[in-house]
Each structure stands twice: as C-alpha cells, then as structure tokens.
A = this chain, B = another copy of it.
Amino acid sequence: MKNICIYQDFLTQAHKAQIRETAEPLGFTPHFFTPDQFQEAQACLQNCEILYAHDTNLLRSAPASLQWYCCSYAGVDPYCKDPALFANPHCLLTNSNCYGVTIAEHVIMVLLMLLRRMPEYEALVQNRGWGDQLPIRSIRDNQFTVLGAGDIGVHVASRLRGMGAARITALSRSGVSRETVFDEVLQISRLDEVLPRTENLVMALPGTAETYHILNRARIALLPQGAYVVNVGRGTAIEQEPLAEALNTGALGGAALDVTDPEPLPQDHPLWTAKNLILTPHISGNMTLGYTCDANVEMFCRDLQNYAAGRPLNGLVDRARGY
C-alpha cells in the first residue's frame, strides 16, 4: 500500500470515510492528522507519496519522494514563490476550486451593500436615527468588470446575470473562456481600456508577480467617479494607499476588501478609517461553510482517482506561472 498524509482541521467522520472508500480500492492508505498533531504528521509524511494539507512548514519537511501536494486552498502563491519548499522539484501541486459558491455569495453581499449604501444606513441606525434619502444603485441594468475568469469569476458572473446585470466583462491572462456567462472575455492587457467604463470592479486574481499592484494609483484614477471596487483575490493586487485616498476624497463610491496586504492589517493602517470601505478579515472563502468542505473533499477524491489512473489532475497548478 502507498500512503497519503492528510493534515486538515475541517474533516468530519463522513469526509474521512469518503476518502478511505476512495483511496483503499486504489491501493492507498490515508493517515489523518489535525493541527495539534504536527509532529506525528511530519513523521508519517516521510513514507507518503501524497500530502493533502495547507501548511508550508509541513510541506518543507516532506521527502523528495513526495509526488503530489494537494493544497486545500485556492491561493497557492506561497508554494509557487518559494520553490525550495519542495524537496522534489517535480512534485505535482494542485489547488482547490471549491470556493466559487461561498466567495460569490460574499461578492454579491458586499456589492449590494455598496450599491445600496448599507454602511451609511448602518451608521445611521447605530445612532437610533431614521431616514431614507440616499440615492442607491441596483445590480439590475448595471455594468460589472470581473478580473479573473476562473472558478470565482464564473460563479460571481452567473449570480450577477441572474439578477439582471446589464453587461459583464471578464479579463484574464488568456482572454478566452469556455464559460458563456460573460458578455465578453478580454486579455488583461486591455485593462486600461476597460477601467474607464467600469462601474463595478470585482477582483478575483491569483497572487503572482504579474498581478502585484495591478490596480495601482494610475489605474485607480482611470475608474469613473463613484465606481465600486471589490477584492476577494489577493491584497497585493491593489496599491492600498491611493485606494484609501480615492475613497476618502469620494473619487470612488466605495470598496469592499476581503484581502489586504499584509493580513491582519497593522493597527495604524489608513484602510481602517477609509470612507465607505467594507473590510472583512479574509473570510469570503474560509472553511466554515459545510458546502465548501464537502466540495473540497470531493475534489481531492476525484483527483486521487485521476492520479491513480495516470490522468491529468483537475486542479493542477503551473508552479512557474503561479496558478
């Protein structure tokens, strides 16, 4: 039997049974560890061909015989930036595309909160005030630009579509998508041309050298007056100081950031007090939703079958490209 080291905190008994029932007929024995068993996991890992986890320290102690690191997160930038984490330079790396549903629900929530000026109404009601005169906007008949046409971008777009969005433009490195939910898919190199007509910008990009500060000061200035910005990808994608300035001057209508650089934000960071900013502590895609956990295990099991059969892995990441 070959061995799989599984180091996760979210697995239920049912998830473990599902993994065992998938692995054993394929000749694999899964070994389960929780975060309080780091040393036990480390010891076991020495005889494992596969690791299913999201922990750079554990990966660092994996043997050169590790063939596949299945990361249960979507963002794998820490693993791609530091090739020294892998003793085996050819180790396969997969990420998990199970976060589309929960992150898309987060995006719809914060977009509606921005469009409907909920932070202002919340502040009013917190002081036991009443009133109804703030002009609002709607998803219906509105325009959206989505940076990143992957799992998250597609789930966001399908929900915007269902709510009557007028036009959804996606931008990605390739500029093509098999998905029909976007009105158009353009290459990210055309970003400067698209920003001036972007009323609502949703950013769901991986953290790579190419996406670092992709929304910089000059591009923030290209957005139309009153535009909204939502980021659920990586905090490094936005130059944060000009964003805070544009919020405070009213050049932007508002923003919702679930990711920042760094995380947590330092206590004296200007984003804490920026106007019309909905800040959340990187929770849009966490593992506190049962559906996400189920889908995560489902994807590992499916790729385990692919791995055993010698087929390409669905979640395969290009370690050089970074996603």
Taking Cβ atoms with an 8 Å cutoff, the residues of A that contact B are 101-102, 105-106, 108-109, 112-113, 115-116, 118, 121-122, 124-125, 128-141, 158-159, 161-164, 263-265, 267, 272, 279-283, 286, 288-289, 291
> Can you list 22 contacts pairing A with B, beta carbon distance less than 8 Å?
A101-B138, A101-B140, A105-B138, A105-B139, A105-B140, A108-B108, A109-B112, A121-B280, A122-B122, A125-B279, A125-B280, A128-B265, A132-B283, A133-B288, A134-B288, A135-B288, A135-B289, A136-B288, A136-B289, A140-B291, A159-B163, A162-B162
A contacts with B: majority SS: loop
* B contact residues around A108 at 8 Å (CB): 108, 112, 163
Complex-state Cα separation, A132 to B264, whole angstroms = 11
Complex-state Cα separation, A5 to B250, whole angstroms = 40
A138 touches B283 (CB 8 A): no
Identity of the chain B residue whose Cβ is nearest the Cβ of A294 in the assembled complex? B141
Task: Choose among B113, B134, B267 the residue that contacts A109 (Cβ–Cβ < 8 A).
Answer: B113
Q: How far is the CB of A247 from chain B (nearest CB, A)?
A: 15
Complex-state Cα separation, A254 to B265, whole angstroms = 29
Give the number of times this chain occurs in the complex, counting copies: 2
A102 touches B138 (CB 8 A): yes
Complex-state Cα separation, A283 to B122, whole angstroms = 12
* B contact residues around A130 at 8 Å (CB): 263-265, 281
Identity of the chain B residue whose Cβ is nearest the Cβ of A134 in the assembled complex? B288
Complex-state Cα separation, A163 to B163, whole angstroms = 10
- Top 4 closest pairs, chain A to chain B, by CB: A162-B162, A130-B264, A109-B112, A130-B281
Given A106-B112, A132-B282, 19 further pairs, Cβ under 8 A? A105-B112, A105-B138, A106-B116, A109-B112, A113-B113, A122-B122, A128-B265, A128-B272, A129-B281, A130-B263, A130-B264, A132-B283, A132-B286, A132-B288, A133-B288, A136-B283, A141-B291, A158-B162, A159-B163
Complex-state Cα separation, A283 to B132, whole angstroms = 6
Identity of the chain B residue whose Cβ is nearest the Cβ of A102 in the assembled complex? B138
Q: How far is the CB of A4 from chain B (nearest CB, A)?
A: 27
Complex-state Cα separation, A281 to B51, whole angstroms = 52
B105 touches A109 (CB 8 A): no
